[in-house]
Amino acid sequence: MGYSVNQYVYPPGTSFPEHSHGVDKIDGVLPGHFKMTLYGDSIILQAGDMLVVPKGVEHSAEVIGNESVVSLDVIKQEVNLNY
């Protein structure tokens, strides 16, 4: 069992309308400020912060300020033990 990690760079002005994912995931921020809204509450993530986004939960995101956000997207991998 492990995790897949993808790095994304989002320039200033990037926003993601409300959506959900079919997997549990973690969004982590390296540089930049990333406003994320879920469960009706907003939080601004900055360098070193992370947020768990459960499977199926509606959320949105927006880059805040003039700096690009470098985001790590972490997803736990399923293990298939069918031999």
**CA–CA gap between residue 12 and residue 26 (Å, rounded):** 21
pTM of the predicted protein model: 0.83
**CA–CA gap between residue 26 and residue 76 (Å, rounded):** 9
Domains of the chain: 3-76 (2.60.120.10)
For residue range 33-76, list pLDDT tens digits in order: 999 999 999 999 999 999 999 999 999 999 999 999 999 999 98
| pLDDT at residue 83, as a whole number | 64
| pLDDT at residue 9, as a whole number | 98
| pLDDT of 80 over the 70 cut | no
**CA–CA gap between residue 31 and residue 45 (Å, rounded):** 10
| DSSP symbol at 20 | -
CA atoms within 13 A on the CB side of 63: 18
Q: Within a 10 A sphere around the Cβ of 75, how many other Cβ atoms?
A: 14
| pLDDT of 17 over the 70 cut | yes
Instruction: Report, as an integer, the average pLDDT of 9-30.
Output: 95
